[in-house]
Amino acid sequence: MEEMILRRLTTLGHAQRMGVFRLLARRYPDAVPAGEIGEILGIKPSTLSVYLSALKSVGLVSQDRHGTSLHYQAEIGAVQGVMDYLLMDCCRGRPEMCSTITPRLPTDRKLNALFICSANSARSIFAEAILKREAGELFNVYSAGTRPGKGLNPVAVDMLKDKGYDVSDLTSQGLEVYQGEDAPVMDFVFTVCDQAANEDCPAWKGQPISAHWGVPDPVKATGTEAERTLAFQNAYGMLRNRILAFSALPFDTLDRSSLQHRVDELALQKD
């Protein structure tokens, strides 16, 4: 066991191999095509193949073939094993050093949830509106974009209005709004587009539970007006199904590890 831990640490001690793993961790539970990994990180195919082989050899990533394409997924359990090993002795004598000392979420306030996409114009706006309506008594809900554009998408706004949502407080804004000293401490952070998940994550106060719930971008849909409208309906439906399941979780009885597992499972549910 110790030998494998050391091999994993050595493998992650290389900056670009670490970069590959961090990308796959941000996209977890997605299995990402090798070509997409290389394009995002700017790594040549031959070099990337060596890095992925090294990560796979120590169990940090798994590989699956889809037709002629190889897809890779982070093995989160392997990293948890490394962390458990590193912190084992600390936790015996100094439990305050371990991240597991806060087994459950706070019960003396509303929980804070943030949804992130690139432009903060449609998908994250859908998610914010849905969770507010379905569980506003339990959550303060926010949304933001890594690269916010020109405001809310009018098709998304009209769709929410047609479904009876209050859109008066919805706005498009950047992540920096939630990075200041006075920003609320997030309990949950969700990325709902691959582009946002591909980018380096900011350091969030309080180590929130995070998940990637990737949803295809309806703004990029082409075809007839009906086909483009259907893309927005599909994105809304996928997010609503996940959020309904999420808001039904027993937050007061599940520890953080269990909640993390449950929100990761929701990314895999069939919509």
Which pLDDT belongs to residue 235? Answer: 96
Q: In whole angstroms, what is the distance from residue 113 CA to residue 131 CA? A: 9
Whether 90 is a known active-site residue: answer no
Whether 91 is a known active-site residue: answer no
- Which of 90, 91, 98, 201 is an active site residue? 201
SS3 234: helix
Which pLDDT belongs to residue 218? Answer: 95
User: Amino acid letter at 119?
Assistant: A
- Which of 90, 91, 98, 193 is an active site residue? 193
Q: Which residues of the chain have pLDDT under 50?
A: 100-101
Q: In whole angstroms, what is the distance from residue 147 CA to residue 32 CA? A: 22
Q: For residue 116, which of 210, 169, 167, 189 has the smallest C-alpha distance? A: 189
**Tens digits of residue pLDDT in 45-98:** 999 999 999 999 999 999 999 888 999 999 988 888 887 777 665 555 555 555
Q: In whole angstroms, what is the distance from residue 63 CA to residue 96 CA? A: 36
Cβ-Cβ contacts under 8 Å for 131 (sequence gap 6 or more): 113, 115, 139, 141, 243, 246, 247
**Domains, the chain, ordered by start:** 2-77 (1.10.10.10), 111-266 (3.40.50.2300)
Whether 201 is a known active-site residue: answer yes
Which pLDDT belongs to residue 178? Answer: 92
Which pLDDT belongs to residue 105? Answer: 86
